[in-house]
Amino acid sequence: MEKENIYILGIESSCDDTSAAVLCNDSILSNVVADQKIHSEYGGVVPELASRAHQQNIVPVVHQALKKANIEKEQLSAIAFTRGPGLMGSLLVGTSFAKSLAYGLDIPLIDVNHMQAHILAHFIDEEDHNKPPFPFLAMTISGGHTQIVKVNDYFNMEVLGETIDDAVGEAYDKSGKILGLGYPAGPEIDRRAQLGNPKAYKFTKPKVDGLNFSFSGLKTAILYFVQREVKANPNFIEENLNDICASIQYTIIGILMDKLKLAVKQTEIKYIAIGGGVSANSGIRKALKDGEQKFGWITYIPKFEYTTDNAAMIAIVGYLKYLKKDFSDFDVMATARLKI
Ligand code: KG4
Ligand code: ZN
């Protein structure tokens, strides 16, 4: 007998993107993301505005995801949603919506940990993407998170290290703000970094034990450096922007690579998967490729649309949990500080 297809609707609303995706088994049928432009006016995500925008977006986004997937909601096998971590107001919108729809359709509800989802996005079936073998190391780098995780199995993960203050994407965005760049500043710093001299200016790397990270000191060092130079030459930023960006990027990539090398040394695992918005960065991609040549690493970089916050990654976790019949009770609560 032919196996029945499993259709999962995934819903992601943990930060500033409202997203819905439909999966047939481990293949994507649709992945719709509505990003919230409103926050760029404020140079960062404003939680209250994010929840309101989620409320406006969620119905049309889910509609579009079903339409693109060309399926009726009655065909869905289960609904997976982000339970946490994230902004409470934003999480509540997705959680309440997912509960109501699953209840109305009388199908299982599946809660998903956003950080697990960034990692398990590597298990979405894609033609040009190999799935990492267990155990592997996952480094999640985004505007909200910086973590190195040892992944023993789909749902057996150990956090080896994480940031004790800012996330790496925040370091990019805050540096960009100091330099007068728009939000988010990561892509612009990355673009300019490729045109500048990475050794033009030296910023000291933070001293944090083990596999934890710290980025708030770097931001302060950049602020003082820029203030000092601008005092001497009011045009300092404009005249040296590419070199400043290249030097910031060089420092950040250095911090990430030092920790990754240490994680490989400690675990003796050479399979490395990355995820999160910052994995779009050209510097980190190049550094990982160099790691393949120099240290024999085998690296996995997901397709761009699965690195930033998206519901396809939520739906793949939903599918993997569906196979284990790991369903949620309807009294499950959104949890802002959910651990892996
Ligand atoms: O994963 P994401 O879309 O949202 C969060 O969960 O935070 O990541 C957004 C972050 C922003 O901080 C943005 O500046 C950064 O990713 N980013 C980059 C690049 N593209 C996006 N940082 C460095 N280089 C890039 N090319
Ligand atoms: Zn994320």
Could you tell me which residues come within 8 angstroms of residue 106 by beta carbon, excluding any fewer than 6 positions away?
none
CA–centroid distance, 230 to ligand 1, in Å, is 27
Statement: residue 43 has pLDDT above 80: no
User: What would the 3-class secondary structure string for 137-185 be?
Assistant: EEEEECCCCEEEEEEEECCEEEEEEEECCCCHHHHHHHHHHHCCCCCCC
What phi and psi values does residue 157 have, to the nearest 5 degrees?
Answer: -130, 145
Peptide bond into 108 cis (omega under 30): no
Tell me the pairing of strands 17-24 and 27-35: antiparallel
Q: Give the distance from CA 265 to its chain's centroid.
A: 25
Q: Give the type of residue at 334.
A: A
Q: Please state, in angstroms and as integers, the Cα–Cα distance from residue 52 to each residue in 38, 65, 104, 218, 302, following that order.
A: 11, 20, 23, 33, 30
pLDDT at 135: 98
pTM score: 0.94
- CB neighbourhood size of 280 (10 A): 18
Sign, CA dihedral 92-95-101-103, equals negative
Statement: residue 40 has pLDDT above 80: no
Mutate to test the pocket of ligand 1, among 18, 278, 309 (most ligand atoms within 8 A of CB): 278
Coarse DSSP helix, strand, coil percentages of the chain, rounded to the nearest 5 percent? 45, 20, 35
Q: Please state, in angstroms and as integers, the Cα–Cα distance from residue 226 to each residue in 166, 197, 230, following that order.
A: 20, 17, 6
- CB neighbourhood size of 146 (10 A): 29
The dihedral formed by the CA atoms of 283, 288, 289 and 290, expressed in degrees to the nearest 10: 90
Mutate to test the pocket of ligand 1, among 174, 308, 310, 314 (most ligand atoms within 8 A of CB): 308
Mutate to test the pocket of ligand 1, among 31, 142, 245, 310 (most ligand atoms within 8 A of CB): 142
What average pLDDT does this structure show over 11-33? 95
Among all bound ligands, the one having the nearest atom to the CA of 285 is 1
CA–centroid distance, 205 to ligand 1, in Å, is 21
Could you tell me which residues come within 8 angstroms of residue 252 by beta carbon, excluding any fewer than 6 positions away?
168, 171, 172, 215, 218, 283
pLDDT tens digits for range 238-279: 999 999 999 999 999 999 999 999 999 999 999 999 999 999
CA–centroid distance, 107 to ligand 2, in Å, is 27
pLDDT at 1: 57
Among all bound ligands, the one having the nearest atom to the CA of 142 is 1
Q: How far, in Å, CA of 235 to CA of 56, rounded?
A: 43
The dihedral formed by the CA atoms of 127, 133, 137 and 139, expressed in degrees to the nearest 10: 10
Residue with tokens 């045009």: 235
CA–centroid distance, 115 to ligand 2, in Å, is 7
pLDDT tens digits for range 126-167: 988 899 999 999 999 999 999 999 999 999 999 999 999 999
CA–centroid distance, 116 to ligand 2, in Å, is 10
Among all bound ligands, the one having the nearest atom to the CA of 113 is 2
Among all bound ligands, the one having the nearest atom to the CA of 306 is 1
Provide the total of helices (H) and of strands (E) in the chain, helices listed first: 9, 10
Residue with tokens 């200016």: 201
Atom of ligand 1 nearest to the CA of 170: 12
Q: How far, in Å, CA of 105 to CA of 68, rounded?
A: 20
Q: Give the type of residue at 4.
A: E
CA–centroid distance, 186 to ligand 1, in Å, is 6
pLDDT tens digits for range 70-125: 999 999 999 999 999 999 999 999 999 999 999 999 999 999 999 999 999 999 99
CA–centroid distance, 227 to ligand 2, in Å, is 32
β-bridge mates for residue 110, sequence order: 80
pLDDT tens digits for range 197-242: 999 999 999 999 999 999 999 999 999 999 999 999 999 999 999 9
pLDDT at 2: 64
- Ligand 1 pocket, CB under 6 A: 15, 142-144, 169, 172-173, 184-187, 190, 276-278, 280-281, 308-309
Residue with the smallest CA separation from ligand 1 atom 2 is 277
